[in-house]
Structures are given as C-alpha cells and as structure tokens.
Amino acid sequence: QVQLVESGGGLVQSGGSLRLSCAASGRTFSSYVVGWFRQAPGKEREFVGGISQSGGRTWYADSMKGRFTISRDNAKNTVYLQMNSLKPEHTAVYYCAAGLLLATGARYDYWGQGTQVTVSS
C-alpha cells in the first residue's frame, strides 16, 4: 500500500515556475513508477508525464515536453514536477499516481488527492 500527498501548488503569474512534490509513504516506493496527471475545470484528466522506478527514465505527453521536468529522490520517497514558463492554460488540479510498469504500459493503482495550480495572466 502506498499513500501519496501532493504539495507545492498555488497561484503564480504567467511566465512563472512552480515545483510540485509528491511525497509517498511505504518502504517499497522505489518499486513503483510514478506519473503526473492534471485535470482542468470542465475537462478530462490528462497525462503529464512519468518516471521510472530508479528515476533513470522519464516520459512526457507531447504537449508537456520542454516545459515540465519530472525527477525523483527515492531516499526521500518523493517525486517532483518542475513546471516552467507557465501559462493560464496550465491551470488545473495536478495529481501524482504510483503503479507498476506492465508490458502494456503503466498501471497506476495509487493516487494522491491533488494540488491546485492557478496561473494568472
């Protein structure tokens, strides 16, 4: 069982940066891939990016490449989402999720409660 808690969200001006954190409980956190997702008002949840168990590999949705960076520190049981050059369209609730990497892709079984990011123009 893994419990996830996101933090670091808030209000930022357009062009600014934020770093979100996803803190996990459980001694086996390093066994899980972690993904970041977001859900804007009135829209479906969308995938932002993910990171492998060791942190050696990351992958992103095409629209997120170059602006968002995911990293992890397994000693601290924490995964980060660095977001730069933010725009109002990045306003959303951001979630982290942990799961297993299967042959068909990642299956995210554990979810955090989300953290609100609001970008003002």
Tell me: pLDDT of 33 over 80: yes
Tell me: pLDDT of 27 over 80: no
* Mean pLDDT value of segment 105-118: 95
* Mean pLDDT value of segment 83-94: 96
* Mean pLDDT value of segment 105-110: 91
Q: Give pLDDT, residue 75.
A: 94
Note whether 50 and 106 are within 8 A (CB).
Answer: yes
Q: Which is nearest to 110 in space by CA: 34, 48, 46, 58?
A: 34
pLDDT category at 105 given cuts 50, 70, 90 is confident
Supply the mean pLDDT for the chain. 95
* Mean pLDDT value of segment 13-42: 94
Residues 34 and 101: their CA atoms lie apart, in Å, by 9
Q: Give pLDDT, residue 63.
A: 86
Tell me: pLDDT of 5 over 80: yes
